[in-house]
Structure 1
């Protein structure tokens, strides 16, 4: 039998190369030819390429002038979700939940003069554009039973400026609205219900300015104002976003310039980096403006991320060029650089692209936009770095450059110590990963938009102060649907509602509650009547006329759709979501079969979306990790090297979550 080794010999007696090695060499040769030829042509036409890059970035960047900002929370809502559909149905049924809340602190307590002043302020605020309703102590009434048994409705604040009325001469029984608007007779609230969808940001700012102007015209030395609410929150957030962008982008650029000068001591490297940074940011924001995608709380973070990605690519390519021997021309040196750096930079950019696109698993529009345009920024930075740096180096040539000696010495020491104690470094990395994983398990995912602002921010200070006094800043809305066949004049029907409201009001996070049931109990208490079907029929027939527009905010015309508002002690999305689960459990036992209870409103919907976002992040990270590991395995052709390369990416993530916990 012939020796198998002889079959493995070629005609010249040399052994054949293994097929996998042959494929790898062919792939490397093809890559070298493509990259070398491509950049040889780019270097040859460097003037035309420079003009083309500048023109393209200029045209796309010009579009960014139309980039707008969206401070509202609607970009966090999943448009196709059931919870958002319930929210839109709630708005359609009961009206807008957008508010401006004016807290009024009275140094000497409520007096007849201040009561008259409060009437004037309420009238001035009511005539402002886009204001649908104003509720204050000046609009609250109390029922009073006359000697003949009739119920008379009287205003809470007598229309007297210099009278000697005191709390004793007011009707005795407080209405259900008073605890929501008055605390200790020293703090009261004026609540403006604003149209749900204002025309634009200018209308929003004009409305807030009108409120502040009306308050300034009625300013008193013994009165302090606290202005908050969802509309003010959105406007304040927009202002802070604009300020942060104006400060953070120059700060990022300044730090990058300083570090480049320290490490490279060469202004040309700084200019190259600034060109790539500016171009990639212009492309990202220009496309956003072209697609009419506004900046929000999430996408507003794209600018510094894109800048850092751009400068990292620039530094890698420029540093590689400086380390190529200078005995060849710039064109030959560039060919050497890009033959060795093209694939590593491409792999780094593609993995960044995958990480951004993995965010598409989230249904939250703001997160999806962040992923799409973050991927666009990463790839535009790579394309500009690959095209712009050789053009710059080819045009400017090579000037003497050196690394600052102290950093060069530090780098040599770190490299030497790392190689010498490599097993100790590996053990420390593993220990840090395990510690981060253990700590990360105790991370408390929560969202509170108020905490986005600094503790000393005037808006946060005023909001927390008013919440401490009245506890009406964080309303959780509940929509209760009663089946059409259920009679609303039956006492048993209202027993179900009162039982559910009583159980909901006892939850730890709930400070107080308010619904049409409170108005019914108040009317029955003042009239001193027992609940019966005949009495309920009479009361429900009179209430729409007596309450006026307030009725439409509490119930539908037939009272089969009811609104129950729970005022929360604090806004913590994790606690709110847990409370929503508890409310569903209570509803399943307290309400009659066939009834439906749906938590909704601004805070309820945003809290549910925030918790959904946390859950989606786990899925997106797992997806990105799997795809990136596969790409590194394919590029390195070794699972071991791919796993080793993925560790430096996992370590900062786990350690960061550990520090957060």
Structure 2
């Protein structure tokens, strides 16, 4: 097969060049269709139960993503100047397209609730006009601090900060809306410090900066690789070939991804930067050996055939093993990670095919004078600094083999201990650097307020009233005339309140006393069912919710919680005396119902349905958290679980979670379990491939040792330095597996060939630290340096990938060049 491919590449060079150019052009034409997606919700499949419930809860309680705008004044926010600026920003926000005006929360857009007289409540705008004096501003502060729903949510407890919650229709508009808000703030003469934050802004802003980063990192990586290749080979036409391979691989892969309709997520945005260095690996092996072997006057075709002849198998296996490492990501339950793994795996095999076909065709097409010139300017590789360093490494590896083995065993033990210290955690806001304005805003506002991160605890009744309603209808129908009984069937399509109202109207028309009595009895039954079904008007249920809120508040894990109980207590206080002593729940369900009815007379009656459904079968607790870290959200979930275990829910109730902070926990847990499964399966698959490749269990095991040490060491260091195990770190496990074994394959395959020619293991190992060792070292340097542009990215996930990929390449190359010779020396009889 390889002979046929080589013949095609050399004999049909124009076909190869035009075919590659045409395929690249077609795929490049797909790039303008790119769609960016940074929503962490899409880390979960659409049919994931947690995601489904989250979206149901959002729809049921009309909850929307919100931008948080905060103003901070260390001298106090309750001044006419600061309050005027707040009102200006709030009024401006209400004019923006994409903002849900009726749900906007600010001091000028919410109600003050006071007692107008015994049993009478007055609702008026909290700040209809900006206070003109300090006294009026002080009165405003007093009014806010009397309302638990607003205190420490709209104004901080220390009185130094105020917030505006801007709910939006589409989270993908959040960055654009935030920029308009910032532009308006900049136009004010306010002396306050203004900050804009919120998960929607962070996610949408990341999408914008990710797009910019894609356009910067890949070209920089390409430039870095070009410079390194020039240093190695000193001939621009010669090194143009691997650059063409890398660029074509990246453009075709990204064009295919976009053309197939996939969105570019945080993971798939890294495909280009991943493929750019990896795609030149095989090319560098061929070019390196060609530069060492070719001499003026030689037949380029014969040299190419000889080089590709013995490199084809190891290059094929290294490409396949790398592909297996990435394809294993498709076993994870995270769609963006699956797409990333699939397309990087495809890109690696594409790079192999292009290399095998294009590089020979390109080299044969070069002018012999160009190749002769390369030889003239190319320094003697045997005398280069790299060659000297590789030889010294070979001498170190060949001496004290037992000591090296003990050292690697200690490193492995150290690594396992570090792995046990790894903490799983992620937070979209932490995707930005510490000094990024979003991180600063997040820090400042969460220091002042109860929290800008939301989680929702949803309580639901498990007892539906339908059974009781149908039974009551059947009982009434059995004692009524056929005409009236038929009329009752129409009630089954109505809601309970509508059915009771329809019966009340029907009673005025009836003349049959028997039917009338049955209908009156039915109405009484339905009214009782209606009262019983309104679970969240029962004082004992609301008391349980209040107890749970108090427990969460005391734990320190929750900055603040808001619920139906706060609404009822506030209204009940004003209905009675207006004094704090009456800030309590009514003793009866009728008292609760009266309080809720009064609340619906406010300027924002629909706010009630953010906390309870109209049938009072479901209720929501809005938790404000000062941290969006998974660890903190997990601690809150455990806290609630422990409380419910000790204090069982009222009979007929159950609970579940919604909110982005909770969804992040769900997909992180799914990712960790999925990554572990994919890593184990890929490890086993690669091991089987190694045994098949070398037709030896011993050589197969030797090939797996460098990657085992590399993976354990890299992840051990993550545990030791305290770096959180997040999405980029998790994905690197498969990359480590795929790339770490490449060097081992090349080393062992070339070592066996050399041994067959020399008949002496020691001599074979000495030869291995000449041209083969230099080729492996060049590849490690090219790939590692190819990822270094990521270190200058403004986004933390890219920096993380850059640091760890460079480390992976350095460690895996060193382990291969030290560990394998040491083990082969110890196992001479077996190898």
Match of 1:613 in 2: 671
Shift of 1:525: 2.5
Match of 2:231 in 1: 262
Paired residues of 1:97 and 1:601 also in contact (CA < 8 A): no
SS in structure 2 of the partner of residue 79 of structure 1 = coil
User: What CA distance in whole angstroms lies between the structure 2 residues aligned with 1:159 and 1:57?
Assistant: 63
2:106 is the counterpart of 1:127: no
User: What CA distance in whole angstroms lies between the structure 2 residues aligned with 1:114 and 1:454?
Assistant: 30
2:79 is the counterpart of 1:111: yes
CA spacing shift, 1:165–1:265, aligned 2, 3 Å: same
Paired residues of 2:9 and 2:358 also in contact (CA < 8 A): no
**Any residues of structure 2 matched to 1:182-193 within 5 Å, and which?**
182-183=155-156, 184-193=158-167
CA spacing shift, 1:593–1:147, aligned 2, 3 Å: closer
Aligned length: 623
**Any residues of structure 2 matched to 1:524-539 within 5 Å, and which?**
524-528=572-576, 530-539=586-595
Match of 2:655 in 1: 597
The structure with more helix, counted as a fraction of residues: 2
User: What CA distance in whole angstroms lies between the structure 1 residues aligned with 2:294 and 2:83?
Assistant: 86
Match of 2:42 in 1: 75
SS in structure 2 of the partner of residue 178 of structure 1 = coil
Shift of 1:312: 1.1
Paired residues of 2:131 and 2:137 also in contact (CA < 8 A): no
User: What CA distance in whole angstroms lies between the structure 2 residues aligned with 1:518 and 1:161?
Assistant: 27
Name the stretch that deviates more: 171-180 or 388-397.
171-180
2:37 is the counterpart of 1:63: no
User: What CA distance in whole angstroms lies between the structure 1 residues aligned with 2:464 and 2:596?
Assistant: 16
CA spacing shift, 1:38–1:409, aligned 2, 3 Å: same
Deviations 1:334-357 (A, max 9, x none): 221122111111100111111111
SS in structure 1 of the partner of residue 559 of structure 2 = strand
User: What CA distance in whole angstroms lies between the structure 1 residues aligned with 2:22 and 2:97?
Assistant: 45
2:683 is the counterpart of 1:625: yes
2:552 is the counterpart of 1:500: no
SS in structure 2 of the partner of residue 480 of structure 1 = strand
What are structure 1's unaligned runs of at least 5 residues?
1-33
Q: Give the alignment's TM-score, normalised by structure 2.
A: 0.71
RMSD: 2.2
User: What CA distance in whole angstroms lies between the structure 2 residues aligned with 1:623 and 1:584?
Assistant: 34
Match of 2:704 in 1: 646
Shift of 1:432: 1.9
Deviations 1:543-581 (A, max 9, x none): 334342312222211222211111123222133224323
Q: Which runs of 4+ in 1 moved over 6 A?
A: none
Deviations 1:607-637 (A, max 9, x none): 2211221222111111110000001111111
**Any residues of structure 2 matched to 1:547-566 within 5 Å, and which?**
547-566=604-623
User: What CA distance in whole angstroms lies between the structure 2 residues aligned with 1:353 and 1:206?
Assistant: 39
Match of 2:453 in 1: 474
Match of 2:422 in 1: 443
CA spacing shift, 1:549–1:106, aligned 2, 3 Å: farther
CA spacing shift, 1:595–1:392, aligned 2, 3 Å: same
SS in structure 2 of the partner of residue 165 of structure 1 = helix
SS in structure 2 of the partner of residue 598 of structure 1 = strand
2:557 is the counterpart of 1:512: no
Paired residues of 2:304 and 2:360 also in contact (CA < 8 A): yes
Match of 1:452 in 2: 431
Match of 1:241 in 2: 210
User: What CA distance in whole angstroms lies between the structure 2 residues aligned with 1:142 and 1:250?
Assistant: 57
User: What CA distance in whole angstroms lies between the structure 1 residues aligned with 2:638 and 2:132?
Assistant: 52
**Any residues of structure 2 matched to 1:370-449 within 5 Å, and which?**
370-396=340-366, 397=368, 398-399=371-372, 400=375, 401-402=378-379, 403=381, 405-449=384-428
Paired residues of 1:500 and 1:590 also in contact (CA < 8 A): no
CA spacing shift, 1:480–1:151, aligned 2, 3 Å: same
Match of 2:190 in 1: 221
Shift of 1:148: 4.0
SS in structure 2 of the partner of residue 188 of structure 1 = strand
Match of 1:540 in 2: 596
Shift of 1:65: 3.0
2:116 is the counterpart of 1:142: no
What are structure 2's unaligned runs of at least 5 residues?
466-532, 577-581, 720-831
Match of 1:12 in 2: none
Paired residues of 2:6 and 2:305 also in contact (CA < 8 A): yes
Shift of 1:275: 0.6
User: What CA distance in whole angstroms lies between the structure 1 residues aligned with 2:4 and 2:89?
Assistant: 76
Shift of 1:520: 0.8
Shift of 1:113: 4.9
Match of 1:321 in 2: 290
Match of 2:807 in 1: none
Match of 1:25 in 2: none
User: What CA distance in whole angstroms lies between the structure 1 residues aligned with 2:599 and 2:648?
Assistant: 26
Paired residues of 1:107 and 1:222 also in contact (CA < 8 A): no
Q: Give the alignment's TM-score, normalised by structure 1.
A: 0.89
